Chain A
């Protein structure tokens, strides 16, 4: 399998649940990203990992917890989310410092 994959593609969770989103890239890139896309808003960068170290956290609430165990995998752990966290969560990867990013298909998250 090539490119950037994300699982699950759709997720419905209650506010008290704990779930995780998974992203995997097979492109040999050394940087990975989580973005949030809400209706009628620009894509918002949430986290950047480069060489498995977090290099940027755009003031994301602690109910979102990223994990990058190696350069090919990225997780976003979710707990006690709010309905306003419902959105499309996109993962991307790219070579560091180049700005070129390749996106996965996204996970459509609904918090009830």
Chain B
């Protein structure tokens, strides 16, 4: 059974700092991996999608990497801003074309002005 773990559960940093969020998964046979952002009481916004054949994806100040063999992904946020404060969720799709996303519990990020 696929399990996704995110460390740390919460992170507080001063504005301007570069930071890394971690995601690990137990079954390396994934189809893709997604990073989402969730603001309090709101839905999820997709940030980056990495296919299993890719090593990384970049969007603005965000860079996500994927090491499928070791079951790990990182989300790097450069020059953090207070507006980046949110919960960041990692989710994997099982290989074989399943629609099922397996989520981690998320990392709650607070960027202090």
Residues of chain A lying within 8 A (CB to CB) of residue B31? 99
Contact A99 B93 (CB under 8 A): yes
For A74, what are the chain B residues with a Cβ–Cβ distance below 8 Å?
none
Size class of A's contact patch? 20 to 34
- Total A-B contacts with CB atoms under 8 angstroms apart: 62
Do most interface residues of chain A lie in helix, strand or loop, or is the interface mixed? strand
B99 contact set on A, CB distance < 8 A: 31, 33, 48, 50, 55-56, 94, 96-97, 99, 101
Report the separation of the CA atoms of residues A99 and B103 in the bound assembly, to the nearest whole angstrom.
Answer: 12
A45–B98 alpha-carbon span in the complex (Å): 13
Q: Which of A11-19, A62-70, A76-84, A104-112 contacts B (4 or more CB under 8 A)?
A: A104-112
B21 is an interface residue with CB less than 8 A from chain A: no
Chain B residue contacts of A92, Cβ below 8 A: 44
Chain A residues near B98 (CB-CB < 8 A) = 97, 99
Complex formed: what's the CA distance from A88 to B43 in Å?
9
Q: Are A102 and B100 in contact (CB under 8 A)?
A: no
3 cross-chain pairs, A with B, having the tightest CB-CB distances, nearest first: A99-B93, A103-B44, A97-B97
Q: A55-B99, A106-B41 are in contact. Are A40 and B105 (CB under 8 A)?
A: yes
A99 touches B32 (CB 8 A): yes
Mark B3-36 against chain A: 1 for CB-CB distance below 8 A, else 0: 0100000000000000000000000000110101
